[in-house]
């Protein structure tokens, strides 16, 4: 049997976890957790607003600390672990956010978009590659289209210069068979490594991450204690244990990964995700996990069931960036409830 390839493990605790913490992560927490991530041996540590560079706003939530300060603080704690950022064109500009992040010492730029809109990443990917930075393409809400569409969009990103392609299960809607079909096709057809970013809405984040590796993925994401939007991400302490059990080579120190998880539980006490009726329905409806809190607020305000709001958003195929539709949907459901035309 051939030796298994070394797996790149990316820690998104200080980025995806920002969703669960209402984007109020402070510099003390950044410093403490970044030091723990370095000790644990993660390949990359992703830092910033939950929606990525430049996303701090009234619409999606304002960060407590400017992103430049967060990035510089994290960078000071890292030696072998490299610093990464999530970038969505539209939130982040090249001349401001990308350049500032480069000056702060970011090593990897993960340029993301909706799964059918790879075209919008061309300028950002091309620019970051032109100045010698490592760049991956990220296809978000990837459950919404089939394998062939994802392959077409991935090839576009690859042609722009992306050195890796990551599929995000942004709604936690995947089943292992879906992962196998989509990751398997990309891994067999692309010339760059393929990765998977799991969410845990249906309790399958670890199973789906393992399915991705078995289908040919070489990159997996996770967060300490699953700290992230909605029901959270693949818990890194569990992911590290499974990788060791399955004899996948990594740069991880299992005990230090476990320590990082324990630290996160203290640093972010009261905000760690759990599985509940809302997060499960988010996965079933295929709606972005980060909508959990605003959906519950809108449903309470309008006197409707938040689960109904999620299913209606799913019917409309709403994606991240369309938060304004949450109130619209809740209002419409309230009118129906009262039989108001």
Q: Using one digit for the tens of pLDDT, what is the confidence trace for 179-216?
A: 999 999 999 999 999 999 999 999 999 999 999 999 99
Regarding whether 298 and 165 lie in a shared domain, the answer is no
pLDDT level of residue 47 (50, 70, 90 thresholds): very high
Q: What value does the mean pLDDT take over residues 9-33?
A: 96
Q: Mean pLDDT over residues 292-300, rounded?
A: 89
What is the average per-residue pLDDT within 35-44? 98
**pLDDT average, residue stretch 297-309:** 94
Residues 306 and 250 reside in one and the same domain: no
User: Is residue 1 included in any domain, yes or no?
Assistant: no
Query: What pLDDT is attached to residue 147?
Result: 98
User: Which residue among the candidates 19, 49, 86, 143 is catalytic per the annotation?
Assistant: 19
* pTM for the structure as a whole: 0.92
Interatomic CA distance for residues 331 and 337, integer angstroms: 10
As a whole number of angstroms, the distance between CA 86 and CA 238 comes to 23
38 and 71 both lie in a single domain: yes
**Do 318 and 212 have their domain in common?**
no
> Which of these three, 232, 267, 302, is where a domain ends?
267
- 152 and 282 fall within a common domain: no
pLDDT of residue 219: 98
Same domain, 229 and 306: no
CA angle 257, 50, 218 (to 5 degrees): 50
Can you give the pLDDT at residue 337?
85
Question: What is the per-residue pLDDT for 267?
Answer: 97
Residue 242 shares a structural domain with residue 139: yes
Domain boundary among 267, 298, 328: 267
Q: What is the pLDDT, as a whole number, of residue 272?
A: 87
| CATH number of the domain within which 326 lies | 1.10.8.60
Query: In whole numbers, what is the pLDDT of the chain averaged over residues?
Result: 95
Contact (Cβ atoms closer than 8 angstroms) between residue 33 and residue 73: no
Number of compact structural domains in the chain = 2
**What is the structure's pLDDT at 1?**
46
**Is 19 a catalytic site residue?**
yes
Predicted confidence (pLDDT) at residue 341 exceeds the cutoff of 70: no
């Amino acid at each position: 049997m051939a030796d298994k390839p070394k797996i790149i493990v990316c820690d998104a605790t200080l980025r995806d976890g920002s969703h669960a913490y209402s984007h109020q992560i402070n510099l003390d927490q950044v410093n403490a957790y970044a030091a723990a991530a370095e000790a644990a041996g993660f390949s990359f540590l992703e830092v910033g607003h939950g929606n990525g560079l430049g996303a701090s706003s009234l619409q999606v939530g304002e960060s407590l600390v400017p992103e430049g300060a967060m990035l510089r603080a994290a960078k000071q704690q890292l030696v072998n672990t490299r610093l990464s950022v999530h970038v969505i064109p539209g939130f982040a500009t090249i001349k401001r956010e990308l350049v500032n992040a480069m000056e702060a010492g970011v090593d990897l730029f993960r340029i993301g978009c909706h799964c059918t809109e790879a075209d919008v990443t061309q300028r950002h990917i091309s620019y970051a590659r032109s100045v010698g930075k490592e760049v991956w393409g990220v296809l978000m809400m990837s459950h919404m289209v089939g394998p062939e569409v994802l392959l077409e969009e991935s090839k576009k990103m690859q042609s722009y210069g992306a050195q890796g392609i990551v599929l995000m299960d942004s709604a936690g809607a995947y089943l292992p068979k879906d992962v196998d079909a989509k990751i398997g096709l990309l891994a067999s057809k692309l010339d760059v490594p393929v990765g998977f970013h799991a969410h845990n809405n249906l309790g399958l984040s670890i199973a789906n991450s393992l399915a991705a590796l078995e289908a040919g993925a070489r990159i997996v994401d996770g967060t300490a204690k699953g700290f992230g939007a909605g029901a959270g991400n693949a818990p890194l302490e569990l992911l590290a244990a499974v990788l060791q059990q399955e004899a996948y080579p990594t740069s991880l120190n299992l005990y230090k990964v476990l320590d990082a998880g324990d630290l996160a539980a203290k640093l972010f006490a009261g905000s760690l995700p759990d599985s509940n009726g809302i997060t499960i329905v988010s996965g079933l409806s295929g709606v972005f996990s980060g909508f959990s809190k605003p959906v519950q607020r809108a449903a309470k305000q309008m006197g409707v069931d938040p689960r109904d709001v999620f299913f209606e958003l799913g019917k409309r195929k709403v994606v991240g960036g369309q938060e304004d539709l949450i109130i619209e949907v809740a209002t419409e459901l309230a009118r129906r409830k009262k039989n108001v035309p």
